Chains A and B, each alone.
Chain A
Amino acid sequence: MQTKTLLEAQNVEFAYRFDKLALNGINLTIPAGRRVAFVGPNGAGKSTLFLHFNAILRPTSGRLLLHDKPFEYSRSAITALRQKVGLVFQDPDTQLFAGSVLDDVLFGPMNLGLTVKAAEKQALAALEAVQMAEFANEPVHFLSHGQKKRVAIAGVLAMKPEMLVMDEPTAGLDFPGMQNLSDIMARLYEAGTTLVVATHDIDWAWRWADLVYVLSQGQVIAGGAPEAILNNGEHASQGFARPVVGEIYSSVVLRNQAEITEKNPVPRTAAELVSMLKNVD
């Protein structure tokens, strides 16, 4: 069964200044309901691309489509788009502005025209989803970094987006924070939200994603299933590290230099690898 395409980019080009193209012909599709990871070196254009997904930036040439309809940049079209495509930035301190947590999360729903009561309901539900409901009336500056990140996510979740785009969500998180984030994303995935993430954490991407795009210098240089992309040996030239599990698997388990094929798939998690190693003499 073919999954529907949620978002598509066709030959998107974008230049911040007149000389250099930050995005140099991006072609990709984001299928609905998938977990998509964008990897690639700093400066590759991941953040710039994300800013196109919710129409904060307009491509200088090429176009983007949502549900097979080209983006329109009128006020009402942008408002509708930003409800469907939610973007969470890397630094929570530049996203949280209000006096209290609940006030900040209310901002999105209220801008969608909801009444205060309806907006409050959605905001509290979003805070519950990120497990920050007890902090609803706390001022933002008393929160830890991980808590602020969660509130930033809640602020976008409260708008009930179809697609949640997150720029480096795991950066700076401690272990409980990572677990919490994984929980949140698992629940969103089960509910059918499309998840798109830019990350440098290759091991996390390997565990989590079911579609990977590699960006470098404003272009998509590889895109496909994680098995095909992250463990194919091209990683050094493409600007990311190989997942640790893959390294260990190919040098220890496949000692007879057997190829990584469908018969010998690289395990996704460390636990799987450990059980494989136990079976190897």
Chain B
Amino acid sequence: MLYLDYLAYNNALKHVSIMEKLFLGWGCLAVSLVFPRPLTLLAVIMLMHAVMFFAKISPRYLVRLWVAPFTFLIVGLVTVAVSVSEAPFAAVVGLNLGSYYIGITTQGLGMAEKLFLRSAAAVSCLFMVATTTPIAHIAAYASRIKGLNAVMEISLLTYRFIFVFLESAAQIYTAQQSRLGYSSTKRSLQSLSMLAANLGTKAFLTAKSLYTALLARNYSDKLVFRCPRQEISIIRLIAIVAALTGVALTAAL
């Protein structure tokens, strides 16, 4: 989490304007939803990873990032691809367990492939934006849209305090470990629940303290956040539009 945030501020594309990065990311997401052909989705995945390559994101870290969504996907795929029935059915691969027939049908395979590609494309778009653009900047940018201000303030505060509470949690965890809080499964569960309860109280007290500190600076009802002024490059914009069109056109192939 911390490294992801660090990357967002320190990647090779940090000088590219937020608008361009969001445009590319959202644009590819839109294309992959509107034209969910396998070739298009593959093109989106490759494009997003190419951009991350240009941003000099470490491939090893990318693999680590992928572990979580990939695991989810695999589980989902298996559920979609595998059919269980009491009557035999046409399957690419199958076996017979007692009175049940388990197998993978061609439709199942097709659905699994679609699901995988669509999800992978969406996740790739997310990763591209997440690794190249800090959340605080996205929130600041989005707050320009009237009516979203309150939502953005909440996101910004949540984001900011994740780091505060991560540190607290780590410290409490270490302290508990030092007193053998995780020496057995039962103790681990107990210690973990105490950690969570403690963090909850801490969160409440922090909120109170923050409110007092904000009052001391004359808080009325608006928090401040702006994004850095970055130049929008016309050339890059044209390139993005071209890339999006190219990707969309693969749907026609």
Contact = CB atoms under 8 A, between A and B. Distances in A.
Contacts of B164: 93, 141
The size class of the interface chain A forms with chain B is: 35 or more
A203 interface: no
B216 A56 contact: yes
Interface residues of B, number: 31
A239 B230 CA distance: 56
Given A89-B209, A139-B136, A141-B163, A103 B217 contact: no
Contacts of B5: 139, 141
A108 B217 contact: yes
Interface stretch (B84-92, B172-180, B219-227, B242-250): B219-227
Contact of A107 (B139, B157, B217): B217
A172 to B, nearest CB: 14
Contacts, number: 86
Interface in A35-90: 51, 54, 56, 79, 82-83, 86-87, 89
Nearest to B157: A97
A91 B223 CA distance: 20
A232 interface: no
A99 B223 CA distance: 11
Contacts of A111: 217-220, 222
Nearest to B207: A94
Interface in B137-165: 137, 139-140, 156-157, 160, 163-164
Contacts of A110: 222, 224
Given A156-B216, A156-B217, A99 B210 contact: no
Nearest to A137: B228
Contacts of A87: 216
The 9 A-B pairs of least Cβ separation, nearest first, read A99-B136, A94-B209, A111-B218, A108-B217, A141-B163, A95-B213, A87-B216, A107-B224, A82-B218
20 contacts: A54-B216, A79-B218, A82-B215, A82-B216, A86-B216, A87-B216, A93-B206, A97-B214, A98-B224, A98-B225, A99-B139, A99-B156, A99-B160, A100-B136, A103-B225, A103-B226, A107-B219, A107-B223, A111-B218, A141-B163
